[in-house]
Structure 1
């Protein structure tokens, strides 16, 4: 029990340290970062934020697709669960596509900011 608490505390500290070292804006700061972006580095950080966001959405879409397939394996698959998971999968996929488009837009802005 004590080992588990120590491991959890240590992992929390490592996560906190790694989060503090990142140059990517936090979710709560992204609006400010977008509003005040003027340099290539600013736009690159925003692009990185949207890349990470898209990856998270893609992971959620994949997870919900797997859950829908798992529910479909039941002899009397709960249709409402399957449609719920498919709906979430489609929503997360659309959000990922939008985030990827914003990532690309900010990468283009970063490339143009140096000219």
Structure 2
């Protein structure tokens, strides 16, 4: 049940989907799913955010392309580099990967994506 007009916004931090509490003055963030180390289930679920600190319950805004974002970030070998936040696009993530020498596998994004602009020129010229 939503108890406020505030909305939490999902983002990725170190490879984990999280959302910051939108209540002014609260500095908590909640994660999605079960923590691999502690087993704790976070307060970020499909459509709901529940802050463990201030007890705010509100809706969550998720990007339409969660699976694509997760797939592109998973190809980054260092968890600290697996980050995404709106308004960044999947294309932006792919370009970042290419700039750092991480080439997408053939199955990325369902088997097809297009590289354009500076990243395409860099690939074609052998810079990356």
Report the TM range for the smaller structure's normalisation: under 0.3
Determine which structure has greater relative contact order: mean sequence separation of CA pairs < 8 Å that are 6+ residues apart, divided by chain length: 1
Higher gyration radius (CA) = 1
More helix by share: 1
TM-score normalised according to structure 2 size: 0.24
TM-score normalised according to structure 1 size: 0.26
More strand by share: 2
